[in-house]
C-alpha cells in the first residue's frame, strides 16, 4: 500500500483535482453575484412584474460603475447576455453613459439610456445570472431552459443543439464499433491461427498504426480523401468519376467515420486476437468430424468462445469513440463534429466555460458508466497493450 | 468442398483489403513528402519517376525552420521529464498492486488506469481550470505533470503484466539471505521486470510525444510541441512540410514498435 501511495497522491493533484474543479465549474459561477451584490439583494424585494423599485436601479447604477472600473463589466455583461441576447451592449453602453449622470432618480436615467431597463425580462436575466450555484448549464446542455416563472421547459425546436449532437455522437460511435468489428474479426482470426512467424508479422501490421502518431494518421486520411487527393486522382485516372464529379470524402461525416475506424481498429483487433489465440483448433476439427458444416461449426462452437473478446473490443472502441476529439476536429468539417468538439468550442471560442464543463461532466458520466461495465465484464486489470 | 475453398479465399481476400486499409494510409505519405511541388498528391513527374519531380525541399524547410526545431526541443524536454515521472511512480505503484497484501486492489487499479479511458478533452478542460488556478498553465512544469498523468496508466499496465509472471520465491530467497527491501528491488526484482518497465516508459513517452489537446488548452507559445505545430500545420497553413515531419514520426513509431516487441520476446522467453 505504501508503494501505491505516491502515485495516488500524484493522481489526486494532477487528475482528480482538475476533474473536481471542472465539476464545480459546471454548477458554480460567482462572477455576477460578486459584481452586483447590492443589486441582487434589492431585486429580492421585487415581485417579478413591471419594473423593479428605485432601490434596485440605484444599486445597479452604482455597481455597474464600479464593475466598469474593476474591468469585470465585460464578464458580467457576457454572462447576462447568454440568458437574454442583446444585453451585453445595453450593459456596456449604460455603464459608460452613467458616468455623466450625477444623481437620481436612477430609473429614469437608466431607462433614458436604454428602454431595456424597464423591461422585466432584463431583470429576470440579471437575477438568474446572479445565482452563485446554478443548474442552468446542465439545463442548457440538455436543451432545456428555465422560464421566468421558474418552470423548466424544452428549448424551442430550432434552438435544440446538444441533444441531437449527443444522439449523433452515440450513433457514430456505434457505427464505428460495428465497422471495427466487421473489419477486425476476420483479421484477428487470421493472425491468431497463422503459423507463429507469419502471425507475428501480420500482428506487426496492426501495431504499426497503433504506434503511429494520431496526427500523422489523420493527415494521411486528408491526403488520401480530399477532392484533389490520391483516391480521387486514381478514380479520375481510371475513369470511374469525371474530373468535375470528384467525391467529397473528407471534411464531412465520411471523413470522421473512415479516419476514426482506422484509428480505433487496433483496439478491436488486439483483444479479439488474444481471446482467439486461446481457442484450440481442435474444437473446430471436432465439430467438423461430427458432421457440422464450417458455417455451423463457426456459429455454434467458435463464435460463442470469442464473445469475451468481442465484448472487450467493442466496449473499448465505443468508450474511446464517444470522447474522440482530434480526428473529428481535423477531418469532420461541420457535419462530422461530435460532442467533444462542442466542449472544445465552448472552451476556446465562445468561452462559455460553465456550459463546456456541464457538457464535459455529462460525457464523463457516460464514460464512467461504460468503464464500470467494462470492469464488470472484462476486468480493468486485464486490459493489455498489444 | 469448393464452397469451403471459396469461403477461405473470400476470407483471405477480405483480410488483404483490411491490411491495406490499415497500412496504406501510413505508407502513402512517405513518397509524398519528397514532392518537389507544394501539392498533397502525386504529380505526373513523380509517377514518371522523373528525378526533377522529387526533392528534399520539405525536409530542408523543416530543418531550417526555427518553429519546428524549437517544437522538437520542447517535445523532447516535456516527453522525457513526463516519462521519468510516470515510470518512477507507475513502477512503484505496480509493485504495490502486485503484492498479495494489497487492499482494494481492483478499485485502485481502476482509478490508476482511469486517465487512459477518460476522454482527453475532459482531462484537458479540467486541467486547464485547475492548473490556471494554481499558476501552472502555460508552463513546462504544468505540461510535464499533465503528460505524466496521461502516460502513467501504460506503465502500470505493462509492469503489472510483467509482475504477474514473477516468482515470489525469488524475493523470499533474497530476504532469507539477508537482503533488505531496497537491495532486493535493485538486484532481484528490477532486472527481471526491466523489460516491462522499459516498454511502459516507451508507451508513456509515445503518449506525451503525440499529445496535442492538453498542449492546445494549456500550453503557450513557449510550450509549442511537435504535435501542436502539426495541428497548426493541418488547420492553418497546409504545407507538405508536415508530410516530412509525419514521415519522421512514422520512422520513429517503427523504431518504438520494434523495441517494444523485442523487449516482449525477451521477457517472455
> What DSSP line would sit under A146-166, residue for residue?
E-TTS-EEEPPGGG--HHHHH
* Residue contact B23–A205, C-beta within 8 A: yes
pLDDT reading at B194 higher than 60: yes
Collect all residues of chain A within an 8 Å Cβ-Cβ radius of residue B110. Answer: 371, 375, 380
* Residue contact B108–A228, C-beta within 8 A: no
- Class of the CATH-defined domain B76-238: mainly alpha
DSSP annotation string for A49-103? SSSPPHHHHHHHHHHHHHHHHTT-HHHHHHHHHHHSTTHHHHHHHHHHHHTT--S
Place of cell 481457442: A279
C-alpha cell at A276: 482467439
User: In this structure, what is the dihedral angle of CA atoms A209, B91, B122, A128, given to the nearest 10 degrees?
Assistant: 180
Q: Which 281-310 residues of chain A touch chain B by CB within 8 A? A: 294
d(CA B165, CA A248): 51
Place of cell 440538455: A142
Among A202, A205, A326, beta carbon nearest to B212: A326
- Name the pLDDT band for A383 (thresholds 50, 70, 90): low
Q: Which 29-88 residues of chain B touch chain A by CB within 8 A? A: 29, 32, 39-42
Place of cell 504495490: B96
Kindly tell me the sign of the dihedral angle through the C-alpha atoms of B170, B176, B182, B186. negative
Share of chain A above pLDDT 90, in %: 49
Task: Please write the tens of the pLDDT for every residue from B125-172.
Answer: 999 999 999 999 999 999 999 999 999 999 999 998 888 877 888 888
As a whole number of angstroms, the longest Cα–Cα distance in chain B is: 74
Q: In this predicted structure, what is the pLDDT of residue A386?
A: 47
DSSP annotation string for A234-293? HHHHTTSS-GGG----SSSHHHHHHHHHHHHHHHHHHHHHHHHHTS-THHHHHHHHTT--
DSSP A145: E
Cα angle: B71, vertex B123, A353; to 5 degrees: 100
For residues B42-64, average pLDDT: 84
For residues A285-301, average pLDDT: 87
Tell which wins on pLDDT, A243 or B207.
Answer: B207
What's chain A's average pLDDT?
Answer: 89
Q: In this predicted structure, what is the pLDDT of residue B237?
A: 64
**Which of A216, A228, A321, A344 to probe by mutation at the B interface, max B CB count within 10 Å?**
A216
Tell which wins on pLDDT, A108 or B118.
Answer: B118
What's chain B's average pLDDT?
Answer: 89
Q: Which fold has domain A162-382?
A: MetI-like fold (1.10.3720)
* Residue contact A262–B21, C-beta within 8 A: yes
Among A14, A25, A207, beta carbon nearest to B257: A207
Contact partners, residue A332, CB within 8 Å, separation at least 6: A251, A252, A253, A255, A256, A338, A341
* Residue contact B123–A205, C-beta within 8 A: no
d(CA B251, CA A4): 36
Are A145 and A153 in contact by the 8 Å Cβ rule? The answer is yes
Could you state, in order of their start, the residue ranges of all structural domains in chain A? 30-128, 162-382
pLDDT reading at B261 higher than 50: yes
pLDDT reading at B269 higher than 60: no
Q: Spell out a b/e string for A64-96, using b for 16 or more CB atoms within 10 Å of the CB, else e.
A: bbebbeeebbebbbbbbbbbbeebbebbbebbe
User: In this structure, what is the dihedral angle of CA atoms B104, B105, B106, B112, given to the nearest 10 degrees?
Assistant: 110
Distance from CA of A164 to the nearest CA of B (A): 20
DSSP A194: S
Closest-approach residue (CA) in chain B for A26: B126
Q: In this predicted structure, what is the pLDDT of residue B98?
A: 85
Burial of A100 (0-12, 13-18, 19+ CB in 10 A): exposed
Task: Please write the tens of the pLDDT for every residue from A178-210.
Answer: 999 999 999 999 999 999 889 989 999 999 988
d(CA B204, CA B182): 25
Element (H, E) at A173: helix A162-192
Q: In this predicted structure, what is the pLDDT of residue B46?
A: 81
d(CA A315, CA A305): 17
**Number of Cβ within a 10 Å radius of residue B44:** 8
C-alpha cell at A344: 472544445
Q: Spell out a b/e string for A237-273, using b for 16 or more CB atoms within 10 Å of the CB, else e.
A: eeeeeeeeebeebbbbbbbbbbbbbbbbbbbbbbbbb
Closest-approach residue (CA) in chain A for B133: A21
Could you state, in order of their start, the residue ranges of all structural domains in chain B? 76-238
Query: Is the complex ipTM higher than 0.90?
Result: no
pLDDT reading at A245 higher than 50: yes
d(CA A341, CA A329): 6
Collect all residues of chain B within an 8 Å Cβ-Cβ radius of residue A205. Answer: 19, 22-23
Q: Which of A247, A254, A246, A250 is nearest to A220 (CA)?
A: A250
Are A36 and A76 in contact by the 8 Å Cβ rule? The answer is yes
C-alpha cell at B264: 516482449
Are A188 and A269 in contact by the 8 Å Cβ rule? The answer is yes
Place of cell 446542465: A138
Hey, is the C-beta of B14 within 8 angstroms of any chain A C-beta? yes
Provide Rg for chain A, Cα atoms.
29
Amino acid at each position: 500500500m505504501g508503494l501505491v501511495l505516491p502515485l495516488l497522491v500524484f493522481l489526486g493533484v494532477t487528475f482528480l483535482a482538475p476533474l473536481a474543479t471542472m465539476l464545480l465549474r459546471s454548477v458554480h459561477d460567482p462572477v455576477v453575484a460578486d459584481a452586483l451584490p447590492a443589486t441582487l439583494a434589492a431585486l429580492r424585494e421585487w415581485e417579478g412584474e413591471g419594473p423593479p423599485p428605485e432601490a434596485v436601479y440605484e444599486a445597479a447604477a452604482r455597481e455597474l460603475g464600479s464593475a466598469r472600473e474593476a474591468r469585470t463589466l465585460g464578464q458580467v455583461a457576457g454572462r447576462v447576455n447568454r440568458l437574454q441576447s442583446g444585453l451585453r451592449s445595453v450593459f456596456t453602453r449604460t455603464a459608460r453613459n452613467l458616468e455623466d449622470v450625477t444623481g437620481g432618480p436612477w430609473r429614469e436615467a437608466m431607462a433614458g439610456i436604454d428602454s431595456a431597463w424597464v423591461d422585466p425580462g432584463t431583470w429576470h436575466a440579471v437575477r438568474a445570472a446572479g445565482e452563485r450555484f446554478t443548474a442552468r448549464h446542465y439545463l442548457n446542455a440538455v436543451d432545456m431552459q428555465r422560464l421566468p416563472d421558474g418552470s423548466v421547459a424544452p428549448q424551442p425546436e430550432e434552438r435544440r443543439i446538444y441533444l441531437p449532437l449527443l444522439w449523433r455522437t452515440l450513433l457514430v460511435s456505434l457505427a464505428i464499433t460495428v465497422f471495427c468489428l466487421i473489419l477486425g474479426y476476420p483479421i484477428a482470426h487470421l493472425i491468431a491461427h497463422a503459423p507463429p512467424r507469419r502471425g507475428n508479422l501480420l500482428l506487426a501490421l496492426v501495431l504499426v498504426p497503433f504506434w503511429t502518431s494520431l496526427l500523422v494518421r489523420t493527415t494521411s486520411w486528408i491526403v488520401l480523401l480530399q477532392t484533389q487527393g490520391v483516391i480521387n486522382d486514381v478514380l479520375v485516372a481510371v475513369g470511374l468519376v469525371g474530373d468535375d464529379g470528384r467525391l467529397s470524402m473528407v471534411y464531412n461525416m465520411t471523413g470522421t467515420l473512415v479516419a476514426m475506424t482506422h484509428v480505433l481498429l487496433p483496439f478491436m483487433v488486439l483483444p479479439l486476437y488474444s481471446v482467439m489465440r486461446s481457442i484450440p483448433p481442435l474444437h473446430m476439427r471436432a465439430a467438423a468430424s461430427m458432421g457440422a458444416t464450417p458455417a455451423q461449426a463457426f456459429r455454434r462452437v467458435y463464435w460463442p468462445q470469442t464473445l469475451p473478446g468481442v465484448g472487450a473490443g467493442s466496449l473499448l472502441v465505443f468508450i474511446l469513440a464517444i470522447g474522440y476529439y482530434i480526428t473529428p476536429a481535423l477531418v469532420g468539417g461541420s457535419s462530422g463534429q461530435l460532442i467533444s468538439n462542442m466542449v472544445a468550442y465552448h472552451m476556446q471560442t465562445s468561452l462559455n466555460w460553465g456550459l463546456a464543463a456541464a457538457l464535459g461532466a455529462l460525457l464523463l458520466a457516460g464514460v464512467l458508466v461504460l468503464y464500470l461495465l467494462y470492469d464488470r465484464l472484462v476486468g480493468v486489470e486485464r486490459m493489455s497493450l498489444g | 468442398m469448393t464452397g469451403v475453398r471459396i469461403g477461405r479465399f473470400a476470407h483471405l481476400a477480405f483480410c488483404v483489403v483490411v491490411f491495406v486499409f490499415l497500412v496504406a494510409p501510413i505508407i502513402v505519405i512517405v513518397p509524398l513528402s519528397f514532392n518537389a511541388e507544394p501539392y498533397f498528391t502525386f504529380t505526373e513527374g513523380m509517377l514518371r519517376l522523373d528525378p526533377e519531380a522529387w526533392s528534399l525541399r520539405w525536409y530542408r524547410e523543416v530543418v531550417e525552420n526555427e518553429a519546428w526545431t524549437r517544437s522538437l526541443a520542447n517535445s523532447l524536454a516535456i516527453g522525457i521529464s513526463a516519462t521519468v515521472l510516470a515510470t518512477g511512480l507507475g513502477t512503484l505503484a505496480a509493485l504495490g498492486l502486485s503484492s498479495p497484501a494489497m487492499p482494494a486492489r481492483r478499485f485502485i487499479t481502476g482509478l490508476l488506469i482511469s486517465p487512459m479511458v477518460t476522454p482527453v478533452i475532459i482531462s484537458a478542460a479540467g486541467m486547464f481550470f485547475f492548473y490556471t488556478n494554481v499558476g501552472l498553465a502555460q508552463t513546462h512544469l504544468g505540461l510535464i505533470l499533465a503528460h505524466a498523468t496521461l502516460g502513467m496508466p501504460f506503465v502500470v499496465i505493462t509492469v503489472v503484466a510483467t509482475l504477474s509472471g514473477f516468482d515470489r520465491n525469488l524475493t523470499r530467497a533474497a530476504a532469507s539471505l539477508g537482503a533488505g527491501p531496497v537491495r532486493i528491488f535493485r538486484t532481484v526484482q528490477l532486472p527481471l521486470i526491466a523489460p516491462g518497465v522499459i516498454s511502459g516508459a516507451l508507451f508513456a513517452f509515445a503518449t506525451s510525444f503525440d499529445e496535442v489537446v492538453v498542449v492546445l488548452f494549456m500550453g503557450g507559445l513557449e510550450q509549442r510541441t511537435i504535435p501542436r505545430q502539426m495541428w497548426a500545420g493541418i488547420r492553418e497553413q497546409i504545407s507538405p512540410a508536415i508530410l516530412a515531419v509525419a514521415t519522421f514520426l512514422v520512422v520513429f513509431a517503427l523504431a518504438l514498435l520494434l523495441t517494444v516487441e523485442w523487449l516482449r520476446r525477451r521477457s517472455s522467453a
